[in-house]
Amino acid sequence: MRMKYQNLPVLTAAVIAVTTSIVLLFAGCDGSSGSSNGGVNFGKDASYALGLNIGTGLKDGLAADGVSPNINELLKGMKDGLTGKNPRFDLMEARNIIESTFDAVMEEKGAKVREEGNTFLAENAGKPGISITPSGLQYEVLSEGTGAKPSAENVVKVHYEGRLIDGTLFDNSYEYQEPVVFPLNGVIPGWTEGLQLMPVGSKYKFYIPSELGYGAYGAGASIPPNAVLIFTVELLEIVE
């Protein structure tokens, strides 16, 4: 379940794509007879296909994070890495440049998402039926059950749907064909707090500020940094 991995930095999709590309590249080359040593064991079409595969994966990964590199410099760096001839930086310097650049891109992206989220929460707070806890968690009761309320130490069984404020669906337990079971103290803070408000049998909708969700890191390509999360949750059972 997605929510169990809370408050942990995650690799961006682009970093994963870059790593995968490097692995694919060297997996496809024989160390004793590859292109870096003058021999060729991949013909014209196979070499092109390998490059196309790497380029496509890299493009998709970079696009997911809104990164647009200089293609000529990207190809020059790959060529220098393959041949080992006169690289502009050593690998440690290259890694530091990549990480600092990604940090700057994600910070810019996160600032925009934070502003949009704050605007959404401010407007949502004034709507009928919305309640707000001292932490800033917003919720509305869609239907109220009559069972017990869980504590943070309980394991619960739920059905849920998660969306971003633009309506994008990023997680949905109904697709799993069965409810999800998890310890309530092992999920994001907005879930831990919110589900303790719910009697078993209830269905609530939560509007979770980013600081009660995944914060400045986000979660993979689906949840950007500083995103407000909207979860519709059915509390089916307190398992233990």
Tens-place pLDDT, residues 53-85: 888 888 877 776 667 888 889 888 888 888 888
b vs e for 31-41, b when ≥16 Cβ sit within 10 Å of the residue's Cβ? Answer: eeebeeeeeee
| pLDDT for res 117 | 94
| pLDDT for res 144 | 96
Residue at token pair 């109220």: 144
Residue at token pair 């690289």: 87
With 0.75 as the threshold, say if the pTM is over it: no
Mean pLDDT of 106-124: 88
Beta strands in the chain (DSSP E): 131-132, 138-143, 155-164, 169-172, 180-183, 203-208, 229-238
Q: Which CATH class is domain 128-238?
A: alpha beta
Listed in order, the ranges of the chain carrying CATH 3.10.50.40 are 128-238
| pLDDT for res 80 | 87
b vs e for 133-172, b when ≥16 Cβ sit within 10 Å of the residue's Cβ? Answer: eeeebbbeeeeebeeeebeeebebbbbbbbebbeeeebbe
Mean pLDDT of 204-218: 92
